[in-house]
Structure formats: structure tokens, C-alpha cells
Amino acid sequence: MSARQGAIAQTWVPRVAPLAPVIAAVVIWAVGLPSIDVGRMNDLGLISVLPWNVFVVIVILTVSAGFQLHQEHINTRVLAVHVVTLAVVMYAIPPIVEEVARSSVTWAHLGFAEYIARTGTTAPTLEARFNWPGFFVAAAFIGSVAGAGSLTTIAEWAPVYFNLLFMLPLALIARGLTRDARIVWASLWLFEITNWVGQDYFAPQALAYFMYLVIVAVVVTWFLVRRPASDAIRNRLRGMSAGGRVLGRLYTVLTPDNLGGWSLSRRQKVAMIGVMVAMFAFVSFSHQLTPFFTVAALVALLVFNRISLRSIPILFGVMAVAWVSYMTVPFLQGHVVSMIKEIGSVSDTLATNVTSRIAGSPEHQAVVTLRLVFTVALWALAAVGAVIRFWDGKRDLTMVLLAAAPVPLILLQAYGGELVLRLYLFSLPFVTILIAGIVYGRRPNPPAVVTSVVAVAFASAIGFGFLVARYGNERIDLMTSSEVAAVERLYEIAPSGSLLVAASNNLPWKFEKFEQYDYVPVTDEVLIGDLPAIADVMRDRKYPHSYLVLTRSEGVYAEVFTGLPVGSWDRFVADATSSPAFKVVYRNEDSEILVLADSTAESIP
């Protein structure tokens, strides 16, 4: 080996070697993907068809990241590559192995964007979500610039790029709340493997959540009150005979920490506030809940004197309330009474959000139970982390306040049974920091080898659990190109004003001309196989034509969520297609479209 080659080896080998496990993991992962047959999924979801490669990759990446975090001097670039790779490994499987964008809601959201692009306006009286149209307006704009077809691809890959986007403000938040780089990277890792709630698809929540994270990141980076605790006061408290030790610790915790960090000039700070206000305006314009989670977080920090901002939390509150009060009147007219009834009904909210979800097939109930255990265990660990750090004299009240700030919203409403999911989502960034602190926030740092090994084993186990919790509904969320093709053909021939009937809303429809049709799910009739009742619904004289759309994903939904016995859906479809009351006008491998036998609607070529 020449001197030059030796020099190159000495320079590059130490740089590239830490990435070797990542490269190996990506290769193993990519090799395993073609063997995934999503059509064979059972009610446990994607994990039931994942090859061994994915599990091995999780272990390789976790061990490698754990090794990096165990080094005396951690390499942030190498850890960044690990975190990005983990995000791709965990979130890119569905867009790669599935034919089209997952989840029926994604297709409806594409339809809302299509409506705005086509008409140049919104329709708040037709669709409640149009009362907060910001995301759909942005999507329509992107669709018109990039092409409507590309919007479908953008929607398909949303979980991947949103989770990558989340990393930027999350890193800033962790950096603003702790100076320990190990906690920062470990918390990012934990976030990736615990964000199971799936609110990162093509939806207003994902974009609004990103903006919430940016606002919180700006606040904790540049607007935290930084005031060192007074040794004199602490010593005086500790000198007290009764409870002095506890009071001393309490004083330390309640005094804002002086973590130093990046500073801005006064003018830059004002400009930064301007950016925050603009972002919050977009959040208020885009999503129902996120503005209130943002206000709750800022008010919690303001009340406990953690932030130097005084008027901005009030300004955000005014903006959020003003939007709801003035711009969502069509929504309020239909919902205000029920919303007021939900205020304070915590037990009802918990029942809607938790207990009523444990239903459906046995495998699905196992998935839901695992999610509950996952959630409670993480919150419990975060509580343990907070207590340990409190005991160690760390002043983490800001983290605890931000983690707890979403909780009071449970007093306000059930949010259609999804509020607990949102509480989890909005507390997650701070919960993961508190958990990471259990391992990396204590002495010795880096921790002992045994501690690191236990942490890696624990993180690997969470990674496996994530695959169940996150993708436990994948059989329901899976949409096929045949189903999309059937609905596209339906939209081509169904006259405007027609009635479209389906067993549930779980199919890829409403993605174009959604306002021109009425959509009716006939779930109860399908469950008892009452074909005459379905025919009665379709016979409504109000509509020129009625179409019954039966697709694979509707059958899966009925089996998983309502516990319809396996095979019942196929029997129902066979009964419907052979019934003299209906005639089949279109059929492909995953879908049938039927009309009433006496209908003048033509067959779809």
C-alpha cells in the first residue's frame, strides 16, 4: 500500500465505517421488500406479511445507533444518517409495496383539493373540513403546479416526508430543552418508533402538527426565560428543619434553567415572532384542534413563567377563537349543541376514545390492546423519567408542562373518538425526551455498557411493537388499483346528482367531483344482508340514478371492525350480484358496481 493509499485509508475508513451497518441495513431491507404480499395480510396488519429482513434491519440500526450513542464523542452526522434511515425503513414500506395511496380518507382529501383546483372556491356547507381549508388550498396549489396526477404520488409518500420534516423542529425542541446531545438523538429515535397514531398521512393534521412543532421549537430555542437558581435561596430552603431537602429541590425545578444556547438580536426576535404569527394563522385556517393544542402549550409555559413572551399566547388565543367564531359558522350550526354537551364529559370521552375501540375481530382487538399498553407504558416511563430527573436536580419543568399541556383538552370534547390519539401525538415530543433522559441524562454519561445494551434491547422491542401498533389497521387502509379503477369508471358514467351507495366509507372514492354526488353508507343493512332495504335506499326518487359500489376494502372493514365472519362478505356480494333486484354494470377483480334491475343506467364498458 502506497503512502497516499494509506493516508486515504486512515482518513476515510473511520468516516465510512460507522455507516457500514446503515448501508447493510438498507440493502437487507430492500432485498426483503419484494417478498411482501399485502394481499395475504390478516387482521394483525402489515406485520403478518413482513419478512424477517425488516426485523433484522430494526435490530441492526438500533444496535448501531446505540453504539454511536455510547461513544465518548458522538458523531452527529452519523447519527443523523441513522435517524433518516430509520424513518425511511419504518414509514416507506406501504408506499413501496402497495399499489396506490393507502386509506380512504387520503382519497377524500385528494377530492377536496381537486374541488378547490377545479372551482377556485371551498364548500363549507357541503363538507365540514372545508371550514378549515388551509391544507386543501395548499394541496390544490401544489396539484396545479406539479400536475394533479403527481398529487396522488405526493399523498402516497406523505408519511415518509412528514416524519422526515418533523425531525427538524423536534431536534430544535430537544436542543432547546437539554444540552445533552445524546438525549437529543435518542429522543428523535424514540419519536420515530413510537409515532404509531398515523396522523402523518395526507391530511391537515400532519401539516398543522409540523407547524405546531416549529412554533414550539422557536419558543423553546429563543424565548425561554433563562434564569439561574439562586444558591442563597436554595441553601436557606435546605437549611429548614422540616422538608427542607424537598423544598430545595422544588425550588430548583421551578426556577427556569439557564441552558445558554443560540441568541438573536432584538430585531431578529421580532421577525421570528412575525413568522410564528404567520404560521399560527395558517394553522388556525387549516385544522380544528391544533390551534388549541398550541395555545394550551404556550399558556402553560406563560403561567409558570417559562417563556419571555407575554402577549403572543393571548394573540394566538384570539386568532383561534376568532376563526372558529367567524369562519366556521356552517360547521357550528350543525354541531355546536353536541359540542357543548361534550364539555366536561370526560368519562364519555374516554369511553368513545378507548373502550369502544376494543371491538371487531380477535386479532384487531389484540392490536388495539397493544396500542393501549404501548401508550400507557410510554406515559408511565415519561413520568418515571421526570421523577428521576427531578431527583437528580434537573430543572425539566418546561418539558413536563409541554407534555401535560394537551391533557386539559380532554375536558372539552371527544373529537369523534380521536382525542386521546391527539393527546398522545402532541405530548410525544416531550415524552420521548423524558424517556431518553432516563438512560442518557444520568451519570456516567455515556452510560455503562449494561445500561446501553438494555436500552438497545428495549428500543428494538419498541420498534417491533411499533410495527403492530402503527400498521395494525393496514388491511383496512390498503386500497388497490382495481378499486380506484372501478370508482374512476363510475365517475365517468354516473350523471351528476346520482346517489352512490356503499357498505361503508372505507373505499377510495370522493377523489373527484365529490360535490356532484350524494354518498350513503348502508353498513347495518349489509351486516344483516338485507338486500331489499338497500334497494329501497337506492330507489329514492330524488336521484336520477343510484349505484351500489361493493369493493374489497369495504368487506375487510366489515370483517375487522364489526366482526363480520370471514366469508360473509363474499356471500353478500354473491347474493347481491345474483339478486333479481340488481344488475351488475361493472366488475373487476376487487369491485362490483350494481344498479337497480329496473334502472336505465347503462353498463360500464
Site residues, another protein (CB under 8 A): 266-267, 269-270, 273-274, 277, 309-312, 314-315, 318-319, 321-322, 325-326, 329, 332-333, 336-337, 340
For residues 493 and 474, the answer to whether their CB atoms sit within 8 Å is: no
CB of residue 417 to another protein, shortest distance in Å: 24
Convert 142-154 to b/e letters by CB count within 10 Å (16 or more is b).
bbeeeebeebbeb
CB of residue 269 to another protein, shortest distance in Å: 5
CB of residue 339 to another protein, shortest distance in Å: 10
Question: How far apart are alpha carbons 402 and 247 in whole angstroms?
Answer: 23
Neighbours of 416 (CB within 10 A): 8
Cβ neighbours for 522, distance < 8 A, ≥ 6 positions apart:
501, 502, 503, 533, 534, 537
- In Å, the largest CA–CA distance within the chain is 92
CB of residue 329 to another protein, shortest distance in Å: 7
- DSSP H helical ranges for 92-203: 93-97, 104-119, 134-146, 148-156, 158-177, 181-194
Q: Where do we find the cell 350550526?
A: 333
Comparing CB distances to another protein, the nearer of 262 and 326 is: 326
Comparing CB distances to another protein, the nearer of 272 and 537 is: 272
Comparing CB distances to another protein, the nearer of 47 and 319 is: 319
For 19, 89, 156, 163, the CA distances from 201, given in Å and listed in that order, are 30, 16, 8, 10
Comparing CB distances to another protein, the nearer of 186 and 214 is: 214
Comparing CB distances to another protein, the nearer of 254 and 340 is: 340
Comparing CB distances to another protein, the nearer of 2 and 326 is: 326
CB of residue 224 to another protein, shortest distance in Å: 14
Comparing CB distances to another protein, the nearer of 56 and 321 is: 321
CB of residue 496 to another protein, shortest distance in Å: 32
Question: How far apart are alpha carbons 566 and 585 in whole angstroms?
Answer: 26
CB of residue 267 to another protein, shortest distance in Å: 7
Order of all β-strands in the sheet with 518-521: 518-521, 499-502, 546-551, 591-596, 582-588
User: CA torsion angle for 111, 112, 113, 114 (degrees, to 10)?
Assistant: 50
Comparing CB distances to another protein, the nearer of 7 and 336 is: 336
Comparing CB distances to another protein, the nearer of 340 and 380 is: 340
For residues 305 and 225, the answer to whether their CB atoms sit within 8 Å is: yes
Q: Which three cell numbers stand for residue 396?
A: 425539566
Question: How far apart are alpha carbons 277 and 218 in whole angstroms?
Answer: 12
For 28, 47, 463, the CA distances from 53, given in Å and listed in that order, are 6, 12, 14
Specify the amino acid at residue 315: L
HSE of 175, CA atoms in CB hemisphere, 13 A: 14
Comparing CB distances to another protein, the nearer of 307 and 462 is: 307
Comparing CB distances to another protein, the nearer of 238 and 269 is: 269
Q: Which three cell numbers stand for residue 82?
A: 441513522
CB of residue 333 to another protein, shortest distance in Å: 6
Neighbours of 102 (CB within 10 A): 27
Q: How far is CA 560 from the centre of its chain?
A: 21
Count of helices and strands (H, E) across the chain: 28, 5
Comparing CB distances to another protein, the nearer of 235 and 333 is: 333
Question: How far apart are alpha carbons 67 and 27 in whole angstroms?
Answer: 20
CB of residue 310 to another protein, shortest distance in Å: 6
Closest CA to 43 of 522, 605, 566: 566
Comparing CB distances to another protein, the nearer of 16 and 411 is: 411
HSE of 269, CA atoms in CB hemisphere, 13 A: 14
For residues 354 and 372, the answer to whether their CB atoms sit within 8 Å is: yes
Which residues are bridge partners to 500 per DSSP?
Answer: 519, 547
CB of residue 397 to another protein, shortest distance in Å: 23
Neighbours of 242 (CB within 10 A): 7
